[in-house]
Structure 1
Amino acid sequence: MVKWYPTEDVQKVRVKRANKPARLRGGVSPGQILILLAGKHQGKRVAFLKQLESGLLLVTGPYKLNGVPLKRVPQAYTVPTSTKIDISGSDFSKVTDAYFAKEKENTKKTEEAFFAPKKEKKPFSDAKKAMQKSVDAGIVNKVADPVVKKYLKTKFRLRNGMFPHTLKF
């Protein structure tokens, strides 16, 4: 049993650590093809563009080839492959973490708002569509080899007799 209790509630001051983004894995470099392990685009192959300030990876399908838009992905959700493509023709320097921030809406919490039907998803803005097309155009034009294009279009799947620990990516 504790014999002494403080007379006032003293809250401990917790110091928040500065956000230290994860270092990029040794085998990952811009232009390398990665396989996504989770999410809506699980199993799809994407091109790595750069690491953002938050530590997340900026990847794209390209959208024209396999339907994967510009996305932020944690490193742990990817598997690097030995395939690389040339991404020097695309300009993605304007894409930052702020590019992916959602727009805030003024919502009032009332009874009417509670019982109102759900709002539909907003379509992507024209600026984001234009950015996606400009980034993809530089990449798709550089991928001239039809084998690499087909490689990007196909999903990665484990089949009978395939063991992940024996595969070489």
Structure 2
Amino acid sequence: MKKLYMITNKTKAISLHKHSTHFRSSIIEAGSEEETSCVFRPEQIIDQNCIIYGSTLKRRQIESKHILQLKNKLPVRIIPEKNIYMFPTASIKNEACIWVAYQHIRGCIERFNKTYILFKDGTDIPVEASHRSVDLQYIRTGQLVARQNDIRLFGNASFTWLN
């Protein structure tokens, strides 16, 4: 049996491994200089971790879609008890997609026509997405965190989106 990567509060990002035929994912963790490799694709890691914590990636996406009234690039709650949320930087079918942990992000900047996500530990990663797109994903994830905590704490959402 192949070993699954367990997402923790140290997990900063999960991306497709581009330089290996055996490993399919690269994982960046806080406090580690080296990337961890895994034989599973990023969305498989996300799905299996969601299953361990009571749901599936598909179900978490439906939940996010309902709360945020969005259809694409949905942020998801991975570990509800620890408030661990991740968002994709692109469509999950896109090989450039990187899943980023919301709680580790300090911001994003554009340098030399490339967008970088800045982490709280002082590191950064380049992403194939616009500054605006990454910023919007961060904001949407924050909205999801707030709404789900509101539901958890008070039993219902106190804010309704009006279309």
Give yes or no for TM over 0.5.
Answer: no
Q: Is the helix fraction higher in 1 or 2?
A: 2
Higher relative contact order (CA 8 A, sep 6+): 1
Q: Is the strand fraction higher in 1 or 2?
A: 2
Choose 1 or 2 for highest CA Rg: 1
